[in-house]
Structure 1
Amino acid sequence: MTAATTFRIGGDLEVRRLGFGAMHLRPGSAEERAACVAVARRAVELGVTLVDTAHLYGWGANEDLLAEALHPYPEGLVIATKVGIRHTTSGEGWRHAGAPDDLRGQVDEALRRLRLDRIELLQLHRLDPDVPLPDQLGALRDLRDEGKIGRIGLSEVTADELAEARAVVEIASVQNRYNLLDREHEPVLKACEAAGIAFLPWRPAAAGASGGRSAEITAVAAELGATPTQVALAWLLAHSPVILPIPGTSSVAHLEENLGADAVRLGREQYERLSRAATETP
């Protein structure tokens, strides 16, 4: 099976489908920071054109790191970030922050940290249950109209929430948890397919680490001379043309393994065997 290697987010922003999630780049020491910078730079060297980050990842530190590593950004590189969550010292350590003024402030902070005049893809990390959805998306629409962001995306939404959001503003992407063995959000993926919306699965390679759970993943990997992680990512690329996996790592070796997945070609019979693996009992 041959899958397209690129996708146009929002119909016009072309990126390589296999991207990079920067969440794991959380340096402590100077040595760790240098290693994280090296991973980000190697991703771009290997042809990544979509890098995913968020305010939540180190409360801005991840965005700072990417700017240090990659600015001035090469032509065609898209740094997508997420807003809508703030740090707190109570509870789980974070709170929803979907009020219009808060969203506007976070976008301005992201622009400063990333050293950008415009964020081409800005995603709402979580819908704020205490703020009407039209207010949240209206604030992002205003920022888009002002030229501070190019396209608006959502994260961790249901198909109904996606439909409600699309009634307010154009939605270019959805970022939900999804992989070969965790397909809870299949209805959302189908809705994205129908509308031509990019679907960015987070934790996309988790199934690859579950080779012991599914004999088929291990078997197909052996047949193709690939790793289970590469097979899991190749399945995503074959499963839907709107899927843009963003596997993350803090290791150059794992990065290179992940990005080798788009060279893995699944046969139709192998794809179907893997698809059935999702129904196996762990």
Structure 2
Amino acid sequence: MSVRQSTEPGEGGGTKATDSAEERRPRRKLTFWQELPILVVIAVLLALGIKTFFVQAFSIPSGSMQQTLSKGDRVLVDKFTPWFGAEPERGEVVVFHDPGGWLEGSPAGSGSSFGRNVQKVLSTIGLMPSGDEKDLIKRVIAVGGDTVECKAGSPVKVNGLALDEPYVYPGAKPCDNDPVGTVTVPKGKLWVMGDHRNDSRDSRPHHNETGDGFVPVDDVIGRAFVVAWPISNWSTLPVPSTFDRVPDAPGGSAAPVGAPAGPEAAALAAVVPVALWRRRRARKGASRGR
């Protein structure tokens, strides 16, 4: 018994046989060069998202945080937890915006105007360091409500406890070059110091200026938690144990940097598997249609 092919009208005015043939016809695949611009756009958008909301890489251009951080190191900064209300704690290494005048006298960017403009565009998406970044990196010594004692010939004290500071650059004294006496940190502010005390313009030399050397918590970009580059310097940046012993104050609560390449690596790592999956799926669809 023979079976006749149905020619009943299908939806949209075609026949069922025609519709089936169209469904079996493989869709035209994009070539690699047609997909490349799409992948680049996706990678840039992911890089911007990662840099803006999650993790950003920063470069260290000075020796103010030696020996913890060396010039040329790349650190990763956690920008995610502050979105949930987390505030900087004693002992953390943080990146923050210039509170006002801390970077005065820093070398201006060099090169042609075209080169500076290109650098500005690429640094916006994290593909190279910024030439005019107004951010610094220091260690949080005290938070709002704490009392800091920084006197010549003595260790730094927070709420009466003398800090054991093995991270301070060898040969540098805790407070000898910039003694400020006793200081109480206002609520919502931080007292920060570089680990290379003899080569760091931090809260101490700015204490008698506008702002009294304090850094507003709102100016903090995030906490540096790992040295990611160079590989030979890879290390985490934990809170030194001495800060765990600092008592809370009564009624209290417990160097310029540029943005280099970093987020784009994570973005590309996310894009490549998706691209491979799409191409594999397209090839399977084409083989089924043969």
User: What TM-score comes out, normalization by structure 1 length?
Assistant: 0.24
Q: Which has the higher helix share?
A: 1
With CA pairs under 8 Å and 6+ residues apart, which has the higher RCO, 1 or 2? 2
User: What TM-score comes out, normalization by structure 2 length?
Assistant: 0.24
Q: Radius of gyration: which is bigger?
A: 2
